[in-house]
Amino acid sequence: MRLDFNLQLQQEQKLIMTQEMQLAVKMLQLTSFELIEYIEDQLVENPLLEAENEDKPDADPIDDYISSLQKEGIDFMEMEDDKEYVSPLHFIAKESSLWDCLREQLRLIPLNKSLYRVGEYIIDNINENGYLTVGIDNISSKFGIDSNKTGEMIEIIQSLDPPGICARNLSECLILQLKRKEIEDKVLENIILNMLEDVGEGRIQKISKANDISLEKTKEYIDIIKVLDPKPGIRLCSDTTRYIIPDVYIEKIDGHYVVSVNEESIPQVKVNNGYKRMLRNKNSPEYMYVKEKLQSAIWLIKSIEQRMSTIKRVVTAILEYQIDFFEVDSGLLPLTLKQIAETTELHESTISRAVNGKYVQTPKGLFEIKNFFIKGIQNKNGEDISTLKIKNRIKEVIKEENQKKPFSDQQISDILRDEGIDISRRTVAKYREEMGILASSKRKE
């Protein structure tokens, strides 16, 4: 064997995240509560940071501080500047319960007023565990609608978060959660529908024999069932008041919509000037320590400002896309992270971090920002059609079919394509199963 030792030049690209970049990313993905806690921890850990008790002046104090350091020749690494500044508006804390969260999500679904009232009634009759406590017949009788329409409204509520909500029983609750996880397994569904008591008692051999599966597979199924939530409403319904701090506001002022970031809820911090003298003497024993803490303080303040600027840019772009939702009370249009990324010239991962766990206060109520992103499919004319509308159309096609010769998924796909909606057979099957509609062979009378 011959061993050669050669020196070779190789060119490659790597993304190296600097300390300040990592901090900026971290600040962006924090929720308001998490950001407040992080800033409070930094105030304790970093002596060069102190709380700003006075109102924030028009000029950015950190920029003034950086200028003064530069004039005095004090060396430090400045973070890339983001000069966009947002004026603060009033702070609103909103108590949010399970029922509030469900109503907020329901408002984002395009429904007429009568069906919206049915949806609210269904939500009002969900108990604290997340289960529907009133039957279809009672709902239908109260609002004078047929049971199919009532069933559709229940399915709409069941599509909201948390997964498993609005179920009529434990089995339905768990199966709804499986579908949300895109787990399709007839054996697993059979165990949930018919053998939950055996699961609870640990009768593995009985379950294995009844379903003709191995003991190992039976244990896998039981493990899946155990991680599902039997009481999905509990985590959003407790005696402890849950406050949601809006990260951003959309207000209509003089006929125009204005986007403003909520700064008043976030602790205002500044650099403690008392340590500046220690930076003048590079030979002093405390110089490196103070310099490091100064760097951390400046990066923190800059990262907070960049977080606010980025969230404002993202919400402004969302507002432009979904303006009809606010102006003419229409449904939300299909919207993706990619579309907002192209508009804002930000990366999709940045958009995702900017909206995750963030809330916006609007003239129509308080919403989680990510709920403004709606999946959709384009028709032949290039127009977007929301997933919800496609599902409703599939329901209509199935409702109008000859029950002796029900449509196959492929036939439904062909019908929708003739209407300009290009959707595959697999997608039809997926949407049909998500809505709990049986296959054509099982719908046949």
pLDDT at res. 296: 85
Q: Is 44 exposed, middle or buried (0-12, 13-18, 19+ CB in 10 A)?
A: exposed
Tokens at residue 35, please? 């950001």
**Backbone φ, ψ for residue 345 (5° rounding):** 60, 35
Q: How far apart are CA 184 and CA 191, in angstroms?
A: 13
When pLDDT is cut at 50, 70 and 90, the band that residue 384 belongs to is low
Domain borders along the chain are 22-88+246-372, 98-236, 376-443
Instruction: Write the pLDDT tens digit of every residue in 284-310.
Output: 778 888 888 888 888 888 888 889 999
Q: What is the mean pLDDT of residues 343-352?
A: 90
Range of lowest pLDDT (117-126, 181-190, 373-382): 373-382
217 vs 284 pLDDT, higher one: 217
**CATH class for the domain made up of 376-443:** mainly alpha
Distances (CA, A) of 251 to 255, 260, 321, 327: 10, 8, 16, 12
Question: Tokens for 266?
Answer: 């976030």
Instruction: Tell me the C-alpha to C-alpha distance, in Å, between residue 341 and each of 346, 368, 386.
Output: 5, 19, 20
Q: List, for residues 63-73, the tens digit of each pLDDT value.
A: 566 666 666 55
Choose among 8, 31, 9, 100: nearest CA to 369: 31
Pair 416, 428: CB distance under 8 Å: yes
Assign 93 a pLDDT band (cuts: 50, 70, 90).
very low
Give the total residue count for the chain.
445
With vertex at residue 437, the alpha carbon angle to CA 434 and CA 442, rounded to the nearest 5 degrees, is 135
- DSSP letter assigned to residue 417: H
